[in-house]
Structure 1
Amino acid sequence: MNAPARRIAVLGAGSWGTTFAKLAADSNRDAQVILWARRNDVVQEINSKHTNAQYLGDTVLPSNIVATDDITAALKDSPLVVLAVPAQSLREQLQSVKGHLADDACIVSLMKGLERGTDLRMSEVISEVLEIPMDRIAVLSGPNLAMEIARKEPTASVIACSDTDRAAWIASSLVPDYFRPYTNSDVIGVEIGGIVKNVIALAVGICDGMGMGDNTKASVITRGLAETTRLAMALGGKAETLSGLAGLGDLVATCASPLSRNRTAGRLIGQGHAVDDLANHMTQTAEGTKSAAAVLHLARKNNVDMPITEAVVAVLEGTLTVDSMANRLLGRRLKSEGIPS
């Protein structure tokens, strides 16, 4: 496992999956990147025009990306398999993966969500369904807005795996001149950072939609990082991970950028749009709307106080109006700012 991967399978041809395939292909033009797409018209477009216009506009994809709608063919002889499918459909999708992985293949999760009903992180779902050890599973997270990376704007990210040699090998396969991967062994901290930031971005978006200023949004971001850190530490993650790219970095990018789906969804809610109406205004799902309740449930199971998450869930479920959200948060009892408390 010393040489970078020469064949990489990417499952999921949405914005992030396609962008990641481009990133991997740009890293090594001698490598073959197989991009699995559910729809045949997307496969035909990628192979004939080298574009995926629905998600990346006129961005030209490298010629060493080959698309297919045959998941078995995509997985064949691929030592590195990257999953970029919707979090809530992962378990079902893995049934098509099971039994077709190359021996000792590594799995990289790009997904940022908790499975509803089980509160499992994506790495845990992968391990359970595919029956492979956690040291063969890595997660990638950071301030990684897909469109900016597709435009080759410089960014950094974190690859976390309990097997540090595997993390280093994966990183060596992802080194175009516009992307810098760091490694980490704290899978829990990296995943929780990527999951909860979507919920906090919803809260920031709601504030933005209501016309609140930067003081308000900065306060939500900062206290959002505090409750994210509390949850990560309760589950065995490390506080320092949340102060890095997969925590603070991802949180700032997701809460501040107009490219962020979760911030956009929150802004629409703050402007008065119903949660059920979001699909009519967005081309992609905001994962925070799907995972927020699971995050809150996981926090309560572990006796972790997450007031911003609790308020967002109440808004999503219709038990709290957006006008009442700020009063609910500001009306809590006074306490020290200490993050772990």
Structure 2
Amino acid sequence: MPQAADGVLVVGTGSWGTALAITLSRSLSVTLLCRTPTERDTMQESRRNERFLPNVEFPAGLELEHDIERACASSTTVVLIAPTSRMRENARLLSPHVRADHVVLSGAKGFEGGSLLRMTEVLDQEFSQARPRIGALSGPNLAGEVAAGKPATAVVASSSPTALAVALGALNTPLFRVYANPDVLGVELGGALKNIIAIGAGAGDGLDAGENAKAAFVTRGLAEISRLGVALGAQPPTFAGLAGLGDLLATVSSTSSRNRFVGEQLAHGQSIADIQASLAPQVAEGIATTLSARALARTHGVEMPITEQSYRVLYEGKNIAAALADLMYRDPRYETDR
């Protein structure tokens, strides 16, 4: 199924974009697109991303580029890794240089504010010439571990068999194993919604609620993710895969997870504004995703109690302990939908 690998362009010099470029360039031809000539020169001189991954040296095979036209010309697979709030802006910058034979993948997890569009839907609008070859890259990928050369897996989702074949050939390495999945909707929803659950799991850790509580919370969180996903048309098995359960487990467990950190700090009494400021320029996508997921749940009549309580904590200032109590005191019911 995979096609022979060709050049990969990673757009985004944050922690995940840099980590992906590093691990792929240990085996493949990879270019990392920098924001400015100054950023490119700085990283070329040090052969590191001192801002986000200062302890990892770039492999010799990693090329740095700031010229969009040149970067796109030397690639067949483009992976955009930007905050969801800036995905459309980045896509518009690339759009004049993206060819019909490019495979364009979103590596971001969330929704566009206001429109509630998933990232592949944003790309579909901005890259009309590449529409048949658009997809998503997702999975349990903690940037620090990937950059350090620890083994990781991911999933590429696209409705195009050609795009899946090209992506599998372009992205698989001995340390980064990539699977294919035609369920774009499910893969994107799993990656986005798990961040909401990670915030709640972090809050539980901050309250010292215990491992029993965390296991229950994560399990019910996955049920909630699946419930909305199926209502929107996703395939149930996707949520038991890498973009669902896999990504969820990594994000709720790791101390390097920004979304988990948000919940933990809220439980310690920090304000959401102070937490976001401490993370800048990086973002915890689960904060904005909570707003979007709540809107989708209400539009489609889907019950999402964890998302609802998360919304009240993040946007209405509800006490975390009170939110936990409200989840525990919900009316008894069957575990699975009937």
Aligned to 2:202: 205
Residue 158 of structure 1 deviates from its aligned partner by: 0.8
Identity %: 37
Residue 57 of structure 1 deviates from its aligned partner by: 2.0
Q: TM-score, normalised to structure 1's length?
A: 0.94
Aligned to 2:310: 312
Give me the whole-angstrom Cα distance separating, in 2, the residues matched to 1:239 and 1:222: 15
Aligned to 2:247: 250
Residue 293 of structure 1 deviates from its aligned partner by: 0.2
Give me the whole-angstrom Cα distance separating, in 1, the residues matched to 2:132 and 2:309: 36
Residue 14 of structure 1 deviates from its aligned partner by: 0.5
1:180 equivalent in alignment to 2:172: no
Give me the whole-angstrom Cα distance separating, in 1, the residues matched to 2:45 and 2:100: 32
1:325 equivalent in alignment to 2:323: yes
The residue type paired with residue 76 of structure 1 is: A
Contact 2:276–2:283, Cα closer than 8 Å, also in 1? yes
* SS of alignment partner, residue 246 of structure 1: helix
The residue type paired with residue 235 of structure 1 is: L
Residue 319 of structure 1 deviates from its aligned partner by: 4.3
1:120 equivalent in alignment to 2:117: yes
Residue 134 of structure 1 deviates from its aligned partner by: 4.8
1:18 equivalent in alignment to 2:10: no
Q: Which moved more, 1:148-157 or 1:278-287?
A: 278-287
* SS of alignment partner, residue 78 of structure 2: strand
Give me the whole-angstrom Cα distance separating, in 2, the residues matched to 1:178 and 1:98: 31
Give the aligned length: 337
Residue 133 of structure 1 deviates from its aligned partner by: 6.1
Residue 77 of structure 1 deviates from its aligned partner by: 4.1
* Runs of 4+ deviating beyond 4 Å: none
Contact 1:134–1:162, Cα closer than 8 Å, also in 2? no
The Cα offsets for residues 57-116 of structure 1, whole Å up to 9 and x where unpaired, read as 221111222222332332224221110011111112222112211232110111001111
The Cα offsets for residues 114-156 of structure 1, whole Å up to 9 and x where unpaired, read as 1110111000011012224653111111111011011111121
Give me the whole-angstrom Cα distance separating, in 2, the residues matched to 1:2 and 1:336: 43
Give me the whole-angstrom Cα distance separating, in 1, the residues matched to 2:203 and 2:114: 26
Aligned to 1:62: 59
Aligned to 1:240: 237
Give me the whole-angstrom Cα distance separating, in 1, the residues matched to 2:152 and 2:5: 21
* SS of alignment partner, residue 265 of structure 2: helix
* SS of alignment partner, residue 209 of structure 2: coil
Q: Which moved more, 1:106-115 or 1:68-77?
A: 68-77
* SS of alignment partner, residue 305 of structure 1: coil
Residues 205/163 of structure 1: CA separation in 2 closer, same or farther (3 Å cut): same
Residue 173 of structure 1 deviates from its aligned partner by: 1.5
Give me the whole-angstrom Cα distance separating, in 2, the residues matched to 1:82 and 1:128: 16
Aligned to 2:149: 152
Give me the whole-angstrom Cα distance separating, in 1, the residues matched to 2:64 and 2:136: 23
The residue type paired with residue 180 of structure 2 is: T
Give me the whole-angstrom Cα distance separating, in 2, the residues matched to 1:312 and 1:251: 16
Give me the whole-angstrom Cα distance separating, in 1, the residues matched to 2:141 and 2:285: 15
Residues 165/258 of structure 1: CA separation in 2 closer, same or farther (3 Å cut): same
* SS of alignment partner, residue 98 of structure 1: helix
Aligned to 2:189: 192
Give me the whole-angstrom Cα distance separating, in 2, the residues matched to 1:26 and 1:156: 16
Give me the whole-angstrom Cα distance separating, in 2, the residues matched to 1:133 and 1:83: 14
Residue 17 of structure 1 deviates from its aligned partner by: 0.5
* SS of alignment partner, residue 97 of structure 2: coil
Give me the whole-angstrom Cα distance separating, in 2, the residues matched to 1:295 and 1:41: 38
Give me the whole-angstrom Cα distance separating, in 2, the residues matched to 1:12 and 1:259: 19
* SS of alignment partner, residue 46 of structure 1: helix
Contact 1:189–1:242, Cα closer than 8 Å, also in 2? yes
The residue type paired with residue 17 of structure 1 is: G
Calculate the aligned-residue CA RMSD, in Å. 1.7
* SS of alignment partner, residue 10 of structure 1: strand
Residue 39 of structure 1 deviates from its aligned partner by: 4.4
* SS of alignment partner, residue 288 of structure 2: helix
Residue 41 of structure 1 deviates from its aligned partner by: 4.1
Q: Which sections of structure 2, spanning at least 5 residues, go unmatched? A: none
The residue type paired with residue 271 of structure 1 is: H
* SS of alignment partner, residue 334 of structure 1: coil
